[in-house]
Amino acid sequence: MEKYGFSVIIPAHNEENYIGKCLAGIRRAAQQVAPEKVQIIVVANRCTDRTADISRKFGAQVVENSDRCISSIRNAGIRAARGRVLVTIDADSVMSPGSLREIRKMLKSGRYIGGGARPKFDRMSLGIAVSSAYVAMKLIPRMISSGGFLSGAMFWTLRSSAERIGGFDESLVSLEDLDFAKRLRELGKSCGMRYGTLRRSYVTTSSRKFDKFGDWYLLRNRALTKAIFTGKDRSAADKFYYDVR
């Protein structure tokens, strides 16, 4: 039963240094729609820090989870969702204030099945710029084969649409977001709808992976980058995502 207008899902593994900013951003965005109609779900994955406590102080619903697969973590949030519209954002990212309002407007138009948002790093350097361009270049063939550009950073769609495509593919330990976007767009095509990108709103994401590994890390470790792009290399995913401290 739908109780909310929005359910915002945040997968979080030991995110006490970032989750507060993420939740504050959601609450600011909620002020431009109907705050009482925005359900915030934090999927606390194997957390040993204050992530869950901070989340509850912000009024978020905390779902405990112990999986080592980002797809199943996101799906745990979808199962707990009671909103008509689903939004999923990473714990180290902050949505801009008009995000929920713009998502509602685009979905109400009937032209969009869902979509993503433009990402901005909280800092920039030559290494980050070149590394980001390199990653984009590697992803372009996948995007072309699936019919064109697919924005990410923060995904939004009707809960019914997410359920129709089966949520996130739990056989993937990385690139699950690109796969979700591709399947969402295919569903849209079957309904005469488009996959969209927020025009005015955006997501500010932390540069912590670059802070941790170095701004040129992805270029200097291209074998690891290639392995991550398979979506199913557990060792690479553990090294870059799941076991990072």
**pLDDT tens profile 6-29:** 999 999 999 999 999 999 999 999
d(CA 160, CA 125) in angstroms, rounded, equals 40
From the list 154, 231, 155, the residue with the least C-alpha distance to 188 is 155
Ramachandran sector of residue 175 (left: φ over 0; alpha: ψ -120 to 50; beta: rest): left
Express each pLDDT in 141-165 by its tens digit.
655 555 666 787 899 999 999 999 9
Contact 11, 90 (CB under 8 A): yes
Q: Which residues are bridge partners to 40 per DSSP?
A: 8
Question: What is the residue-averaged pLDDT of the chain?
Answer: 91
Q: What class does CATH assign to 4-120+151-206?
A: alpha beta
From the list 170, 181, 192, 190, the residue with the least C-alpha distance to 145 is 181
When pLDDT is cut at 50, 70 and 90, the band that residue 134 belongs to is confident
pLDDT score recorded for residue 61:
98
pLDDT score recorded for residue 94:
98
d(CA 81, CA 123) in angstroms, rounded, equals 33
Q: What is the pLDDT averaged over residues 217-239?
A: 81
Comparing 195 with 235, which gets the higher pLDDT?
A: 195
pTM over 0.75: yes
Q: What is the pLDDT averaged over residues 173-181?
A: 90
Buried b (16+ CB within 10 A) or exposed e, 197-228: bbeebbbbbbeebbeebebbbbeebeebbebb
d(CA 162, CA 143) in angstroms, rounded, equals 20
pLDDT score recorded for residue 147:
60
CB burial of residue 117 (10 Å; 0-12, 13-18, 19+): buried
d(CA 176, CA 69) in angstroms, rounded, equals 10
Q: Which residues are bridge partners to 154 per DSSP?
A: 89
Helix (H, G, I), strand (E, B) or coil at 153: strand
Q: Report the range of poorest mean pLDDT among 57-61, 62-66, 117-121, 225-229.
A: 225-229
When pLDDT is cut at 50, 70 and 90, the band that residue 230 belongs to is confident
Give the pair of three-digit tokens for residue 184: 């969402």
pLDDT score recorded for residue 24:
98
243 pLDDT exceeds 80? Answer: no
226 pLDDT exceeds 90? Answer: no
When pLDDT is cut at 50, 70 and 90, the band that residue 136 belongs to is confident
Express each pLDDT in 44-90 by its tens digit.
999 999 999 999 999 999 999 999 899 999 999 999 999 999 999 99
pLDDT score recorded for residue 244:
62
Give the pair of three-digit tokens for residue 20: 């507060």
